[in-house]
Amino acid sequence: MTAGPPPRLELLTRAGCHLCAAALETVTRIAAEAGVASREVDVDTDPELRAEYGDRVPVVLLDGREHSYFTVDVPRLRRDLGIT
């Protein structure tokens, strides 16, 4: 079995982060609207992610590149995903 393509949207979070919980709801909704895969990744499970992003969670990655942090830039994310 081969792995499919990585999800277009990733949300970097950590446990106990109230901003992360709000961002997860938003990213999940927008991913569903756009018909793209998304996943949540806890930065505390990976030392490299924690070192790079741990002080800025939540972080939205679109196609593996940083898109926004602390809050979801909804208008920009919708535009970049081609939805209105």
Mean pLDDT score of the chain: 93
Q: What pTM does this model have?
A: 0.90
CA atoms lying within 13 Å on the CB side of residue 16: 2
Answer whether 62's CB lies under 8 Å from 8's CB.
Answer: yes
For 46-59, write each residue's pLDDT tens digit. 999 999 999 999 99
